Structure 1
Amino acid sequence: MMSNNKLKLVLDDNLGIPKYQQIINAVTEGLENNVLKIGDLLPSINAFSKDYGMARDTVFKAYSQLKKDGIVKSTPNKGYFISGNSIKVLLVLDTFKAYKEVLYGAFINNLPDNIIVDLQFHHYNPDNFKTIFRNTKGKYYKYVVMGFDHKEVPRVLSEIDKDKLLLIDWNVHSNSDNNYVFQDFGKAFYETLVDIKNRFKKYKSLSFIYPEFTYHPKETLIFFEKFCEEHQFDYNIVDNSKAFKVERGIAYISVSDRILGKFLEQCRDKALEPGVDVGFLSYNETPMKKFIYKGITVVSTNFEALGIKAAEFVTTNESIQCYIPTKIAIRESL
């Protein structure tokens, strides 16, 4: 029990974390470290208030939140005791798309029942990103974060204990001592193009559609150009979605499923057969792409594996630094 020195609480006004949240953190960390166990009695609100020189309302607020989270229960004439060992994890993604659903599903399905996952989205908005972490500082056991390229991001991430932080998907603003599970948007993408270069030879040129609304890493464009120049393919890059017009004899590569929809619509209107008259290579696998039309060829990392690795970081308390391979699924569209 806390009153028997099973748990030491050191309040620090310099952390920028409210005192009630420091109490919550002390209890949850005690559970995570097996210092506290189910059935252990916590000090009464009056005793806690007296021992640590804080207001009763502060202690009550902490205990109430712990009850809400299912970590403690209260019994009349007995007080507050540990009833469970729930742990809260924050998962921050960029936007919600079909392949992110695969990642999320793999993540939560590989966590034990006592881990609660809160999911938030930053939508590539730096103010939103800052607000998420300002409001969650010190409240979570682990933080699993999909970052983006903005100068404010590294400053925000630097305020999170590196042992509690896992960066996923995009290697941007990471340091050598960060935990991470990334995909490779550059060299690995280039290597998949090399693997299927013979399929491109039946087309007169390649066109990479990189629409104005995408946040896909531009590293991919650099390696696309490298591939075309080294293997002598005529090519162009279209960065205006309104200028996208399907033409016979061209193979298209796109990072946007909106563009895929436009491609199929124009193929229907112009009586062009994907995989014969025109080609299409889509980025990021989703469960439906194998069934769309006669199947869409996809280059993608394994988002299920990425989610499983992220769950492994949460459950093992071990550091992790790895890349998930990028592979290609050949279907009728190319």
Structure 2
Amino acid sequence: MNIKFTIEKNSNVLKFQQLVDAILDSISRNELKEGDMLPSVNQIMKDCQLSRDTVFKAYAELKKRDVVESVPNRGYFVTRKITKIFLFLDTFKAYKEVLYHSILNHLPKNISVDLHFHHYNIDLFDKIITESVGRYTKYIVMNFDHKKVKNIIDKIPKEQLLIIDWKINGEGKSCVYQNFGEAVYNCLDKNLSAISKYKRFTLFYPDFTYHPREIVEHFEHFGKNNNLNYRVITTFDEFDLKKGDLYFLVSDRTLAKFLDQCSEKGFEPGQEVGVISYNDTPMKKYVKEGITVISTDFNQMGQKAAEFIVQGKPVNVEVPTTLKLRSSL
């Protein structure tokens, strides 16, 4: 095969992984087809200036994925077509890891997922999407609230795009999302008796968060409709735990501060003070005998995203949001 792969010497990605990704990309583009022979180990070593061990490691990884097979005294051959998927998340947190692995676990082995992060940086968001258009079969994008986002994601063909987690900028597009407003209100309303035992209910909506602001509006409606002593704070200067307080925290950074103050003041969550955290993670059911959470089902979100990838049909699904009652409330 007259095909060469590019390896970046100064990249943070390991060279063997670069070679794996380059071969997968060639297969997904049909530059390499089922039955085609890959370049020999010696040829890759020469073209890419790689060690023999690095090339063998890359080929071993491709064999492990059932993408290539080795034939004694002949070489390595492509065994099947690879579909490449573009997955664009905001940041990599514990609950995003649940989502990511759920997507992978519900996909067949011949589908490869390239994971990217934008960290709410609009220039990076634009750059990565612009450079990725035309290179993938499907695009799974977790976007955010910025005036430029819609025009950027409109670069992706609508039938190839799925918006996940937050439906913003998803008009007329396939979406698998959670409801940050009404669903949260309903979760609180169903647990009014547990909430009412506290003297004051505080939503800590920090000024550094990108969490959808509609949660503030629905929290305030809930407090007003039920005649609660409620408030919204935005800075750590206002965050001083008092006995009888219940906190609703949308950031794990603020949850850590809450637990620090509990330790300093000798408060036991669920007794002197209470806390509801947003987004469940595998650890929250174990911390302090269990942190109460309001969360969507990220496993289900990943499963629905995988169904869109495999079936290719338009989808518009709201994944349920529930309150998991644990000892902290």
> What TM-score bracket applies, with the shorter chain setting the length?
0.7 to 0.9
In the alignment, structure 1 residue 209 sits paired with structure 2 residue 195 = no
In the alignment, structure 1 residue 284 sits paired with structure 2 residue 273 = no
Tell me by how many angstroms 1:272 deviates.
1.5
TM-score, normalised with respect to structure 2: 0.78
* Alignment partner, residue 246 of structure 1: 241
Q: Is the 8 A contact 1:252 1:281 kept in 2?
A: yes
| Residue correspondence of structure 1 range 1-334 to structure 2 within 5 A | 28=28, 38-39=34-35, 83-176=79-172, 178-334=173-329
User: What is the letter of the counterpart of residue 158 of structure 1?
Assistant: D
- Post-superposition CA distance 1:251-302 (Å, at most 9, x none): 0000011111111111121111211111100000000000001110000000
Query: In 2 relative to 1, CA 25–266 (structure 1 residues): closer, same or farther, beyond 3 Å?
Result: closer
Residues of 2 paired with 1:72 and 1:329: CA distance? 45
User: What is the letter of the counterpart of residue 139 of structure 1?
Assistant: R
* Alignment partner, residue 5 of structure 1: none
Tell me by how many angstroms 1:316 deviates.
1.1
SS of structure 1 residue aligned to 2:257: helix
CA RMSD of aligned residues (A): 2.7
- Post-superposition CA distance 1:56-110 (Å, at most 9, x none): xxxxxxxxxxxx997899x9xxxxx964200110100000100000000100111
User: What is the letter of the counterpart of residue 200 of structure 1?
Assistant: I
SS of structure 2 residue aligned to 1:104: helix
Tell me by how many angstroms 1:28 deviates.
4.6
Q: How many residues align?
A: 277
User: What is the letter of the counterpart of residue 140 of structure 2?
Assistant: V
Tell me by how many angstroms 1:241 deviates.
2.3
Tell me by how many angstroms 1:37 deviates.
7.7
Tell me by how many angstroms 1:243 deviates.
2.5
Query: In 2 relative to 1, CA 179–330 (structure 1 residues): closer, same or farther, beyond 3 Å?
Result: same
Tell me by how many angstroms 1:40 deviates.
8.2
Q: Is the 8 A contact 1:86 1:114 kept in 2?
A: yes
Q: In terms of mean alpha carbon deviation, does 320-329 or 262-271 score higher?
A: 262-271
User: What is the letter of the counterpart of residue 325 of structure 1?
Assistant: P
Residues of 2 paired with 1:25 and 1:275: CA distance? 52
Which consecutive residues of structure 2, in runs of 5 or more, have no partner in the other structure? 1-23, 38-58, 72-76
SS of structure 2 residue aligned to 1:163: helix
Residues of 1 paired with 2:30 and 2:131: CA distance? 23
User: What is the letter of the counterpart of residue 123 of structure 1?
Assistant: H
Query: In 2 relative to 1, CA 261–28 (structure 1 residues): closer, same or farther, beyond 3 Å?
Result: closer
Tell me by how many angstroms 1:125 deviates.
0.6
Q: Is the 8 A contact 1:212 1:241 kept in 2?
A: no
Residues of 1 paired with 2:27 and 2:287: CA distance? 50
Tell me by how many angstroms 1:30 deviates.
7.6
Residues of 2 paired with 1:329 and 1:162: CA distance? 36
Residues of 2 paired with 1:317 and 1:242: CA distance? 49
Give % identity: 44
Residues of 2 paired with 1:102 and 1:208: CA distance? 26
Q: Is the 8 A contact 1:25 1:138 kept in 2?
A: no
User: What is the letter of the counterpart of residue 284 of structure 1?
Assistant: N
Q: Is the 8 A contact 1:300 1:327 kept in 2?
A: yes
Residues of 1 paired with 2:154 and 2:130: CA distance? 12
SS of structure 1 residue aligned to 2:159: coil
Residues of 2 paired with 1:93 and 1:290: CA distance? 25
User: What is the letter of the counterpart of residue 121 of structure 1?
Assistant: F
Residues of 1 paired with 2:279 and 2:235: CA distance? 20
User: What is the letter of the counterpart of residue 87 of structure 1?
Assistant: T
* Alignment partner, residue 52 of structure 2: none
Query: In 2 relative to 1, CA 268–82 (structure 1 residues): closer, same or farther, beyond 3 Å?
Result: closer
Residues of 2 paired with 1:302 and 1:152: CA distance? 29
Q: Is the 8 A contact 2:130 2:155 kept in 1?
A: no
SS of structure 2 residue aligned to 1:245: coil
